[in-house]
């Protein structure tokens, strides 16, 4: 008896976990920890470490890359792995969990726990008594119980996914944080007039030619915040404007085998809530944003253009767009080592003078503009009719599948064909959007040029200028002094520099 009193208490580590805690209160893991500590105290154990995993699934798998480079599916639980490492170092004698399914629900995790226990000799206990690995019978029972728990989780996941899909088919809101412009009320989305007005304002301003940056700057000055009270960013505004929910469409993107959601929706259904933007406006806004993204160039570092003629100034030898590098435009030759260069200030002055001279002679052709606009509207109307027809086909196909008239394989195959055709139609319809960028009146370009941004100047120049080819210096030509002469006026100095580089510059005008 005296010898037992002198024995040191066993060192125990406590592991607690709860799968779902959307509020982040951690009450579940707090209760588990209290019960585990009481169990350890009642069995003469001293708690030397606690490993907590709140709002963490022990069933859902994700694709991870092992140190060997192999990609595998695993349940990701950092604290569980840290606990196994702690026990492997001999820093504790017993692992205490509240219940078996709180510790493991994946057979692979159980086998890792069994291996660690065999190799390092610690004991495994649970408050409910469901987790013991002392003998072969305990191990066999644990494997059976974990397999059953894993099957139960798989059944639940399948039912939840099917219910979510049915909600999507019915156009119902799936829950969670409502998108900007709406609030959740009785499981439904209701339009918030003030936020909806901001969404429409942003769409109108972008279609009128304003940049996202300018809209955000204005909103920040006015104190406009997101629904969570955060400051608007470029990404957050684009997410709102591209969301299908604001056009009254419910999308369903299933969970993929790697644990992530599919990038493209499987279902697009008319939603049970009111739209903020009509579909035509929504698609036009998306087309403008996509066009601006395509127009970005890697040397500008973003959507804000710094130099009005970048992209138009090309190397006359290899045709590569010359890059603005410090004081010069230089040809990088796509790695071929061309490296032809020209003074940026001089060539920009020359191009600007030539462009403005052309605009001074150009007279607008309103009939041609009307014809082009009318042709775009006719094309968009025809493509819109095709899109509506395909939407109706999808709805009938889904009804036939859910009524059991066609099998799943046929449904998936036919749905993929229709969805692919709809994507193509959407792209063609977006390409037919007239005046995707800001409308430029060619009769007033010269008057507005000085006060406009480089982006606007680039778009205006592109209306009349196809390219500016930079050739090598003519053979025998002398390098002129780039500094003003004594008594030379700035106007004369500028003209003399233009004369010096003029033989190297070739303008390719649009017909």
Query: Tens digits of per-residue pLDDT, 317-369?
Result: 777 788 888 788 888 765 555 778 888 888 888 899 888 888 887 655 555 45
Q: 425 with 380: CB under 8 angstroms? A: no
Q: Per residue in 28-86, pLDDT tens?
A: 899 999 999 999 999 999 999 999 999 888 888 887 777 777 888 888 899 999 999 99
Give residue 119's pLDDT band: very low, low, confident or very high (50, 70, 90): very high
Q: Per residue in 197-242, pLDDT tens?
A: 999 999 988 888 788 888 888 898 889 898 888 889 888 899 899 8
- What number of residues does the chain have? 511
Give residue 399's pLDDT band: very low, low, confident or very high (50, 70, 90): confident
Contact residues for 224 (Cβ-Cβ < 8 A; gap 6+): 198, 232
Task: Count Cβ atoms below 10 Å from residue 94 Cβ, excluding itself.
Answer: 20
Whether residue 434 is predicted with pLDDT greater than 60 in this model: the reply is no
Return the higher-pLDDT residue of 301 and 128: 128
Averaged pLDDT, 471-490 = 68
Which of 253, 282, 286, 287 is closest to 267 using CA atoms? 253
Q: Per residue in 280-297, pLDDT tens?
A: 888 888 888 887 776 554
DSSP state at residue 406: S
CA 86 – CA 108 distance, rounded (Å): 19
Could you tell me what percent of the chain has a pLDDT over 70? 82
pLDDT at 298: 37
Give residue 373's pLDDT band: very low, low, confident or very high (50, 70, 90): low
Q: Per residue in 234-275, pLDDT tens?
A: 888 998 998 888 888 887 777 666 566 666 776 677 878 889
pLDDT at 435: 42
Whether residue 379 is predicted with pLDDT greater than 80 in this model: the reply is no
pLDDT at 127: 94
pLDDT at 300: 40
Lookup: tokens for 440: 């430029």
Task: Count Cβ atoms below 10 Å from residue 6 Cβ, excluding itself.
Answer: 6
27-41, 83-97, 430-444, 497-511: segment of lowest average pLDDT: 430-444
CA 432 – CA 293 distance, rounded (Å): 17
Return the higher-pLDDT residue of 434 and 474: 474
Whether residue 96 is predicted with pLDDT greater than 90 in this model: the reply is yes
Averaged pLDDT, 108-131 = 93
pLDDT at 345: 84
pLDDT at 123: 94
Return the higher-pLDDT residue of 192 and 265: 192
Q: 146 with 107: CB under 8 angstroms? A: yes
21-25, 86-90, 122-126, 459-463: segment of lowest average pLDDT: 21-25
Give residue 437's pLDDT band: very low, low, confident or very high (50, 70, 90): very low
pLDDT at 4: 47
CA 103 – CA 296 distance, rounded (Å): 50
CA 41 – CA 46 distance, rounded (Å): 7
For the chain, give the mean pLDDT. Answer: 80
Could you tell me what percent of the chain has a pLDDT over 90? 23
Collapsing DSSP states into helix, strand and coil, what is residue 307? Answer: coil
| Rg of the chain on CA atoms, in Å | 34
């Amino acid at each position: 008896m005296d010898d037992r009193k002198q024995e040191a208490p066993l060192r125990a580590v406590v592991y607690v976990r709860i799968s779902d805690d959307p509020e982040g209160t951690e009450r579940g893991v707090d209760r588990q920890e209290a019960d585990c500590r009481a169990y350890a105290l009642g069995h003469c154990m001293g708690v030397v470490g606690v490993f907590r995993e709140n709002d963490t699934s022990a069933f859902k798998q994700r694709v991870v890359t092992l140190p060997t480079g192999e990609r595998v599916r695993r349940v990701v639980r950092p604290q569980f792995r840290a606990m196994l490492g702690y026990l492997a170092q001999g820093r504790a004698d017993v692992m205490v969990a509240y219940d078996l399914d709180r510790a493991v629900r994946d057979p692979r995790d159980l086998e890792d726990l069994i291996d660690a226990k065999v190799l390092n000799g610690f004991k495994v206990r649970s408050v409910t008594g469901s987790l013991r690995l002392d003998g072969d019978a305990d191990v066999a029972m644990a494997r059976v119980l974990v397999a059953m728990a894993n099957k139960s989780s798989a059944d639940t996941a399948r039912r939840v996914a099917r219910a979510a899909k049915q909600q999507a088919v019915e156009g119902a809101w799936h829950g969670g944080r409502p998108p900007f412009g709406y609030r959740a009320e009785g499981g439904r989305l209701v339009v918030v007039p003030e936020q909806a007005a901001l969404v429409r304002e942003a769409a109108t301003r972008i279609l009128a030619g304003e940049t996202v940056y300018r809209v955000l700057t204005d909103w920040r000055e006015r104190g406009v915040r997101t629904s969570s009270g955060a400051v608007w960013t470029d990404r957050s505004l684009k997410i709102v404007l591209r969301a299908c929910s604001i056009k009254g469409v419910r999308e369903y993107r299933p969970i993929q085998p790697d644990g992530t959601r599919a990038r493209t929706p499987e279902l697009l259904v008319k939603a049970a809530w009111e739209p903020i933007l009509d579909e035509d406006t929504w698609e036009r806004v998306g087309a403008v944003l996509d066009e601006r993204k395509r127009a970005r160039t890697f040397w500008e570092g973003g959507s804000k253009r710094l130099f009005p003629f970048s992209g138009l100034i090309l190397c006359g030898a290899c045709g590569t767009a010359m890059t603005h590098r410090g004081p010069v435009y230089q040809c990088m030759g796509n790695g071929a080592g061309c490296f032809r260069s020209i003074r940026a200030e001089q060539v920009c002055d020359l191009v600007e003078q030539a462009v403005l001279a052309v605009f001074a002679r150009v007279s607008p052709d309103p009939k041609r503009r009307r014809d082009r606009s009318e042709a775009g509207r006719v094309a968009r109307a025809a493509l819109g009719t095709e899109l509506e027809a395909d939407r109706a086909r999808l709805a009938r196909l889904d009804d036939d599948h859910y009524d059991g008239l066609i099998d799943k394989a046929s449904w998936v195959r036919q749905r993929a064909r229709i969805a692919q055709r709809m994507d193509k139609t959407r792209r063609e319809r977006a390409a037919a959007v007239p005046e995707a960028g800001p409308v430029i009146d060619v009769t007033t370009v010269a008057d507005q040029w000085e006060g406009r941004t480089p982006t606007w100047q680039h778009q205006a120049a592109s209306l009349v200028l196809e390219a500016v080819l930079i050739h090598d210096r003519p053979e025998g030509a002398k390098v002129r002094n780039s500094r003003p002469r004594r008594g030379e006026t700035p106007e004369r100095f500028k003209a003399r520099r233009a004369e010096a580089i003029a033989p190297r510059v070739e303008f390719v005008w649009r017909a």
